[in-house]
Structure formats: structure tokens, C-alpha cells
A and B are shown apart, each in its own frame.
Chain A
Amino acid sequence: MTADQLILKRARDGDEEALRSLWSQHSPHIDAVVRRLCGDAELAADIAQEVWIQIFRALPGYRGEAQFGTWAHRIAVNRTLNALRKVRRIEKWEVDIDDDSAATEMDSDRGFLAESIDEAMRQLSPGARTVFVLHDVEGYTHEEIAERLGITSGGSKSQLFKARAKLRRLLAHVIDDTWPARNGSHAASAC
């Protein structure tokens, strides 16, 4: 039995130090994904504890097919999305896809530049942020995202493009500091 297996076994038995060891080792990344998905520190703090309780509750079902961190990460994502649904943070979010609000958003973005991608992501709509975080940050496929959010993969892709276009504007000074961006208006116009 390896050290990790021993700690997991002890954690399943309710051993405090083993549970604490798992939490201590994995909480930086688990807490980070919860924070990114929530985009709100206070809400994220409320959800993170629920996430950890859920992880430990599910521990007897962990069979070691994946690394513990990967397995726990999946639970964290699912639990956070469920919690966000409950607080209606992403309710009707798919409607946003057809919402022709791009021009309005562009006006409100003008002059605002984010200092980091983390800050920029907080400016996204809940739906766009969720899809962007899951796809570009956490590495989920559109099919996986669609399954978790109950949408189509096309809807996921649309939200992702919308998110990237907005982030590109908000982070223009970071990713394109030598040539001002055109506020996302790059269309199929003449060169």
C-alpha cells in the first residue's frame, strides 16, 4: 500500500489527520476552481466548504481509477455548478447566447482594462465565464460542458467565443500592448 493509499484509507475511516492532509494538499487547487467558477469571493467561500464536505462524503466511492486530485476536481466542478444553479447565478444563461447585447457590453467595457485574467473573467456574464473557465482554464470539452450545463455543445461554443472576444478587449494592454485592439470589431471587412 502506498502512502497516498494509506492516507485515503485512513480518511475513509474518518481519521482527522488523514482528512486534513487531503484537504491541505488539494485545497489550493480545489478552492481556486470554485473561486473561478463563482467569480464572487463571498459566494465562493460559502460553496467551497460544501464542496469539501461532498468530496469527503463521496470518498468511500473513490476507487482510484484517477488521481485523487483529478477525482476531487471533478466533484468540485459539479458541486459548484449545482450550487450556482441553486442561487440562480446561471439561470437562463443560455438565453444570453441570442441576446444581442454585444454592442452594449462593448460600450460599457470601453475604458476598462483588467489587470489580470482573473479580474477580466469577473466582468463576464455568469454563463460566459462558466464556459470559458471550464473550457479554456480547466480543459473540459464542449461536449462535457454541454452535459454538465444541460445545453448543446454549439451553445457552449458560442458562449466561449463571446467570452474570448470580451476578454481580448479587456486584456488588450496585456496581450497586445504594442497595437491597440479594435474593441472586438474585427469583422470580415476589407484590409
Chain B
Amino acid sequence: MLHLPADRLIELGESEPTNTELAHLGACAECERERRAYRALRELASAEGASVGAPLTSWDSLSAALRDEGLMTRKSAQILTLTPPGTPAVARPRRWHTGAWALRAAAALLLVAGGVVIGKSAASVEMSQPQTTAAADPTLGTVANFAGSYTSNAEALAALYRAQREYERAATFLMTNNPVADETEPDVYRARLAALDNVMQASMTALEDAPADPVINRYYIAAAGARESTLRQLQTSLPPGSRIDSY
């Protein structure tokens, strides 16, 4: 009895044998083993299509190139930036800029961001430490002392936005320079990715109801950004050569 041709066995990795071939495969363990091996190879290849590895591109580099090409012409952050009194008017996108609702939305976003900061800070404080008042905490004391120094809502909101930008810079720094590293990190990142997927899904659903809502858009995009950072952190926390197939 002759073995099946090598090319035919390779082909059988993705197609069905004829009746004659089937009879041969039933009697020839070696041909059957080769057929199974090529099927296994096909499955490995298919699985490879769903895998991702370490990122090849960085947003800093890509965004600079996009600006040079004229493909990126405006920052979304402008939509929440106040113009200080006395600044000449500049052309800005119509939506999302004017109206008290936009300011309230921005303030709400900032409160959420602030809440995250406070929450993170609180988590790092020992539970036994007594709660301090603003006067006992130099930072809070500073905030308290400034509470009455604003002369207008616009001035106060401008300060809020400056704080927001500072928060975003600090959060980005912390996410990319996490000083805490232990072997449980991949699990933490996986859990965070799953949670961020839920956030993205929820905000996506909300956007279907209110596609032009700037706050919901910011949530979606912020979640996408956090997801991207976490994915990169997960990749770098895995042993060399490991890749993410799922989480």
C-alpha cells in the first residue's frame, strides 16, 4: 500500500478526503498522523490571526506625523477649554463650546476625574490613619484658602480645567511609570481590561441614544485610551516571548 502524496496530505489539512483516501487513512496510521498534524497547523494559524503582540506604533510619533500631513487639524480638548477674558476670539467648532450645559458637563467630568484621584489617594492611605481636615492637610488647606479668591465663574472654571489637564498629565505619567510591580500585575491588568470593556460597551450604548453628547463621547474616548494603555502594560508585564491571545 502506498502512502498518500505529501502535497495531498497537506491539502487534507483543510479539505475532506475522498472515500478511497478515507479508507487509506483508516488503515495507515502514518498518513493519518500527517493529516492530523496539518489540521493542527491550520488551527494554530487561525488562532494566530486573533492574537496581538506588543504595539509597533506610538501615538506621540504617529500624531506628529499626522499633524505634518495635515490629517490632524484640531484637538478635541479645545471643546472644553475656556477662553480667558480679553483673549481675541478664535474660530472653534460650533458644537460643545457655548452654553451653560457644556460648562456643567465639563465640570461634571472634572468632578469624576477628581473623584478618581481622591479615590486613588485614599486607597494608598493606611486605614488606621485618622481622617484629616482641610486645615490639617497642607494641600487641602491651600485649596480651602483659595476658595474665595475667584472673581467670576469663568475664572473658577478656567482653574478647574487647568487642574483637569494637570490631572490627565499626572494620570498618564503614573500609568506609564507604575512604580509598583509584582507578579500579580497581569491579572490586575486583565481585570482592568475586562472592566474597561464594560465601560466602553456602556458608553457605546449611551452614545447610540445621544451621539453628539460631549460628556458621553469623552467617557468613551477616555475609556478607549485607558484600555490601550492597559493593553500595553499587560503586554510588557508578561514574560518575554509571551503574547496576548485573550484576557
Contacts and interface: CB of A to CB of B under 8 A. Distances in A.
Interface residues of A, number: 66
B52 A31 contact: yes
B63 A35 contact: no
B53 A32 contact: yes
Contacts of A132: 45
Name the residue among A6, A27, A53, A179 with the largest chain B CB count within 10 angstroms: A27
Contacts, number: 189
A35 B53 contact: yes
Nearest to B75: A16
Contacts of A151: none
Interface in B46-90: 46, 48-49, 51-53, 55-57, 59, 61-63, 65-66, 69-77
Contacts of A117: 41, 44-45, 48
* Secondary structure call for the B interface: helix
Interface residues of B, number: 65
A138 to B, nearest CB: 6
Interface stretch (A17-25, A61-69, A88-96): A17-25
B72 A16 contact: yes
A49 B60 CA distance: 11
* Secondary structure call for the A interface: helix
Interface of B: 1-7, 9-11, 13, 27-28, 30-31, 33-34, 36-38, 40-42, 44-46, 48-49, 51-53, 55-57, 59, 61-63, 65-66, 69-77, 203-204, 207-208, 211-212, 217, 220-221, 224-225, 227-228, 231, 241, 243
